[in-house]
Amino acid sequence: MKKSIYLLAALSMVGANVFAKEVVAEPVEAVEAVIVQAKTVEPWKFAGRMYLEVEDFDNQSAVIGGNDDEDGTFIGTGISATRGKLTLDLNVEKRFGGDLSFINTDAEWDATRVDWKVRYQLFEKQAFHIKYRSENRTVDSERAPGWMQSTRRNRVELGTDFNHFNGLFAGWFVVGHDEDKNSSGANSDGNYWEGDFGPSFKITDRLSINPTLYTTGEFYDSEEMIETQLRVMMPYQLTDKVTIMPRVRVTLDRTVEDKSGNKIWEYKFADRIRYELMANVAINENFSSFMGVVYENADRTYAGGKKKDIDLFWSYVGVNYKFN
């Protein structure tokens, strides 16, 4: 009888030890699984860009008093870092104002514009961003128009970009706030919105059409502006590496008023039409280039009925590189 009791006790201890080993082993396996998952963290992906942009108003189509103060040459560079749904972006742009050429290299004004942007892909088909801009403009008082002053602008912007219903409703929209301070010490605040959205239709394997409605509004201490445009782009896949993108912009209405509601100037339907030809070239998997040329014909009507012909020539060339 005693032998049977001893045997049962021994068996129970062996069973308890086996059971204990199984219980203890479970957390060890879970820890190992957690460690394996931690090793698969998605790495950061970096990309860089450089670009040159030129705006040149026709010499005989003066904007303000026959000056070329709205002409501009802009040189920029930027870098972005992406991991998962998060993208961080920094862009620095040097801006020169006036009718520049190889003969005339003195700018009427120059500015440095710095943009910091954080974008997050909150939903599968819609992302949101916040952007901060700091811009300092220095004016050459001997060459620039008398009304122009050196200014500093701080801007905060919230925005979204989206692509819903298989491309039937895609685009972007932003709202923002500006705080300006000029060299005389005067402050000026303002708010704005801007957006572009519409459907995209595939016509053939290589050709598609993208009509959009563009809207923008600016409400500052000195003046207010609202504009609406109809834009139509027709991207065409010319080769495996080249896509050309012709686009036409037609201004439906643009009105600029002072704070009292008095009209300063306006564009009525089709008073401004912009013809664009852009192209994207994929040189290899990491290296690409984007370029474009534009001609814009505009007839601006001022208060009192006076009109001015304001034609614009625009060009852009940029390169992009993915580092990994």
Residues 206 and 272 in one domain: yes
When divided into structural domains, the chain yields a total of 2
Whole-number percent of the chain with pLDDT over 70 = 79
Does 95 share its domain with 21?
A: no
Q: Which residues pair with 74 in a beta bridge?
A: 53, 95
Question: What is the pLDDT averaged over residues 167-188?
Answer: 89
Which structural domain range is residue 2 located in?
Answer: 1-41
* Whether residue 64 has pLDDT greater than 50: no
Looking at the structure, do residues 161 and 22 belong to the same domain, yes or no? no
Q: Look at residue 148 in the predicted model and tell me its pLDDT.
A: 62
Q: Is the same domain home to 178 and 75?
A: yes
**Does one domain contain both 14 and 160?**
no
Residues 6+ apart with CB under 8 A from 22: none
Q: For 6-32, write each residue's pLDDT tens digit.
A: 444 444 444 444 434 344 444 444 444
Whether pLDDT at 299 is above 60 = yes
Please tell me whether residues 37 and 152 are part of one structural domain: no
Answer yes or no: do 9 and 52 share one domain.
Answer: no
Cβ pair 226, 254 in contact under 8 A: yes
The model's pTM: 0.81
Residues 210 and 253 in one domain: yes
Q: What is the pLDDT of residues 191-234, one digit of tens each?
A: 999 999 999 999 999 999 999 999 999 999 889 999 999 999 99
Do residues 61 and 15 both lie within one domain?
Answer: no
Mean pLDDT of the chain: 84
What is the per-residue pLDDT for 142?
61
Least confident segment among 98-102, 184-188, 261-265: 98-102
DSSP 31-60: HHHHHHHHTTPPPPEEEEEEEEEEEEE-TT
Both 51 and 10 in a single domain?
Answer: no
For 143-153, the pLDDT digits (tens) are 555 556 778 88
Q: Which residue has the higher pLDDT, 126 or 73?
A: 126
HSE-CB of 299 using CA atoms within 13 angstroms: 7
Provide the 8-state DSSP code for 165: T
Task: Name the DSSP letter for residue 207.
Answer: B
Helices (H), the chain: 2-38
Residue 115 bridge partners (DSSP): 91, 133
Are 57 and 21 within one domain?
Answer: no
Range with lowest mean pLDDT among 15-24, 38-47, 78-87, 129-138: 15-24
75 in the same domain as 17:
no
